Amino acid sequence: MIVIIAGPSGSGKTTIGTQLAARLGWTFADADTFHTAAAVAKMHRGEPLTDADRRPWLHAIGAWMDEQLAAGRSAVVTCSALRRDYRDVLLAGRPAVRLVYLYEDRETLDQHLAGRHGHFFPRDLLDSQLADQEVPQGEPQVLVVTPAGSPEDTVAAIVADLWPAGPPGPGTPDPG
């Protein structure tokens, strides 16, 4: 099984994703590492990405997920997946993938970004992400979570929602 932790910049994707992967004993990948150098440079300059910029990124994440699944490895990966068509690219034909969308209000996102240093995504691009955001509503394979309490509390809520009977053991592939 693959769990995608999604949401706009500042929603806690990396924090929640790494903690979820550690709790499950699964591999973790940060989607930022799948961006092309040109896309990273563009964001660093404060320019929003276009669909043409995002397309190779989404396909690279999909290819990575396919490799993990083919090898029988469960994993957690982050990806903003702000729009439904982006989520469709990641989920289509992958029944063993679930997406957890972290939904935060603008003020909280802005606070998180203000405290983040050394990241290529400047705070000024948050408005463009929120303009693109389509919060999932009734999408198959998608769970919307509003982080509450500590990151550990949010991870516990995600685990309880995805595996009501209890999570798979560390390193144990989940049949999905």
What single string gives the DSSP state of each residue in 88-125?
A: HHHHTT-TTEEEEEE---HHHHHHHHHT--S-SS-GGG
d(CA 171, CA 98): 18
pLDDT attached to residue 119: 46
pLDDT value at 3 more than 50 = yes
Residue 84's CB: how many other CB atoms inside 10 A? Answer: 15
pLDDT value at 123 more than 60 = no
Please, which residues have CB within 8 angstroms of residue 170's CB and are 6 or more apart in sequence? 24, 25
Which of 46-50, 72-76, 77-81, 94-98 has the weakest average pLDDT?
Answer: 46-50
pLDDT attached to residue 79: 94
Q: What is the pTM of this model?
A: 0.85
pLDDT value at 131 more than 50 = yes
Which of 42-56, 88-102, 115-129 has the weakest average pLDDT?
Answer: 115-129
d(CA 124, CA 98): 30
pLDDT value at 151 more than 60 = yes
- Mean pLDDT, residues 6-12 taken together: 88
